[in-house]
Structure 1
């Protein structure tokens, strides 16, 4: 019996090391993708025209837009004023209202801007936008470059058929948002699996799980 247990322990340790090694590999690969998007995503290239620009909410502090929210709002206004879409949908709780005000101050007509003010995550941005948009029409999603891949997956998962991407900012040189994005990608993947598995649950409860 003692010999048998002695053999089991090394096997378990090898399995643990193998799992940890895979986790490190997946994390490193995801970090590499985030960094490449942050460094090399084309900022000056305009996307193809679409039916709608969807502006993802960012951060604000004491009623003042943070730099990420400001740059997203300005990029969305730029795309609409360049004739690449007929309307802007700003999506995000709290910050969304401030972003709408900033977009209007840039000369965008009020009738061309709408607000989805309940979402608290990228997945909810996509889910609640799908409720009030024509998902069969092409859309341009605007956010920071490092956030674009996760946004694309989120909007495709929530039913949008043609998702085009536009970066709102220059390269981010702070490690915190980039490292946070790596964790968020895998956390979102887990939540999407849960969301898909709970197709029989009340839609409001499923939506709350995406916050």
Structure 2
């Protein structure tokens, strides 16, 4: 029994370390393609990256919006969608604040949609799905280290909804970032956190699907994804 537990522990540590290496390598090696040269898609989907309770977007969220707007201005896609929940109950949402910023930066309001319920990457994907279900090709915008988990989340959300699984292209706003504004921790700590989040999300997806098979209500299972 102890030997088995030891093997499991060693495997878990090895899997985590390899995941960290893979995420860091992906973030550093992901191509920095100019907006005018990216493959055209149906919609640009920008994920929220934090906001103060008063509605002030964090720098990381602003950079994501600016990256998405540059892509739209370069005609990389005709539509934009922003995803991010509320900083406090009944408060402003990151999705709405990012959409408003995009409009101030010149994006036409009639090509912008947003969702304001999500509090995690899995919820970004799940709650955005009804608004982007007709898109055959998405372009996700987030940091480089966050792109793999975002890609997996949106692929899963499309599959889970029964919609055709779209092609998903990726654009990074920056390669790495700090955990929060003013943080003194090195950016590499976000890679450590991201590796754990990837495996944690895998477990939550399994729980979500098993819960559905046993008749657990949709809203209850959605709360598991926060």
Kindly report which structure 2 residues correspond to 1:15-164, keeping only aligned pairs within 5 A, or say none: 15-46=4-35, 47-61=38-52, 62-93=54-85, 94-135=93-134, 137-159=136-158, 160-164=165-169
- Gaps spanning 5+ residues in structure 2: where? 86-92, 159-164, 178-185
Q: Deviations over 1:86-112 (max 9, x none)?
A: 111101112222212221121111111
Structure with higher Rg: it is 1
From the superposition, tell whether residues 136 and 106 of structure 1 become closer, same or farther in structure 2 (CA, over 3 Å): closer
Q: Deviations over 1:51-70 (max 9, x none)?
A: 11111011123432222101
Report the counterpart of residue 7 of structure 1 in structure 2.
Answer: none
TM-score (norm 1): 0.88
Report the counterpart of residue 165 of structure 1 in structure 2.
Answer: 170
Compare 99-108 and 71-80 and name the one that shifted more: 99-108
Report the counterpart of residue 174 of structure 1 in structure 2.
Answer: 187
From the superposition, tell whether residues 208 and 143 of structure 1 become closer, same or farther in structure 2 (CA, over 3 Å): same
Preserved contact between residue 129 and residue 157 of structure 2 (Cα < 8 Å): yes
TM-score (norm 2): 0.83
Compare 114-123 and 160-169 and name the one that shifted more: 160-169
Distance 2:26 2:59 in 1: 19
Distance 1:75 1:125 in 2: 18
Question: SS at the partner of 1:114?
Answer: strand
Distance 1:45 1:109 in 2: 22
Aligned length: 200
RMSD between aligned residues: 1.6
Question: SS at the partner of 2:44?
Answer: strand
Preserved contact between residue 43 and residue 168 of structure 1 (Cα < 8 Å): no
Report the counterpart of residue 222 of structure 2 in structure 1.
Answer: 207
Preserved contact between residue 43 and residue 170 of structure 1 (Cα < 8 Å): no
Preserved contact between residue 142 and residue 167 of structure 1 (Cα < 8 Å): yes
1:17 CA displacement: 1.5
Preserved contact between residue 96 and residue 115 of structure 2 (Cα < 8 Å): no
1:43 CA displacement: 2.2
Kindly report which structure 2 residues correspond to 1:174-193, keeping only aligned pairs within 5 A, or say none: 174-193=187-206
Distance 1:205 1:81 in 2: 40
1:45 CA displacement: 4.7
